[in-house]
Amino acid sequence: MLEWERIQEQQLMQVLGDQRVKLEKEDSWVWKDKWSAVFAVKSAYKILNDDVHGIERELYGDFWGLKAQPSSQLTA
């Protein structure tokens, strides 16, 4: 596991540790972003990218720059 992954894991565990289970409440998805309450891949990328530094940032950028196969080709 890379150092930035360990940091993200620790941050996630802090967020999850602060949550309380409510048995009588239906589950729901919540996107907690400073700029928007609406999830977008662009905002998720920005949040993740802001936490990466140095050589890891370069590798992270290279990874996100990879060309992916269109989903229409995957289901054909």
> What's the rounded Cα separation, in Å, for the pair 76 and 47?
33
Element (H, E) at 55: helix 54-64
**What pLDDT, on the 0 to 100 scale, is given for residue 72?**
67
Quote the percentage of the chain above a pLDDT of 90.
Answer: 0
* 23: its two tokens: 């048995």
Query: Per residue in 17-28, pLDDT tens?
Result: 877 777 787 877
* 5: its two tokens: 């992954």
**Alpha-carbon 6 to chain mean position:** 14
Is 29 a residue whose pLDDT tops 80? no
Query: Per residue in 34-45, pLDDT tens?
Result: 777 778 887 777
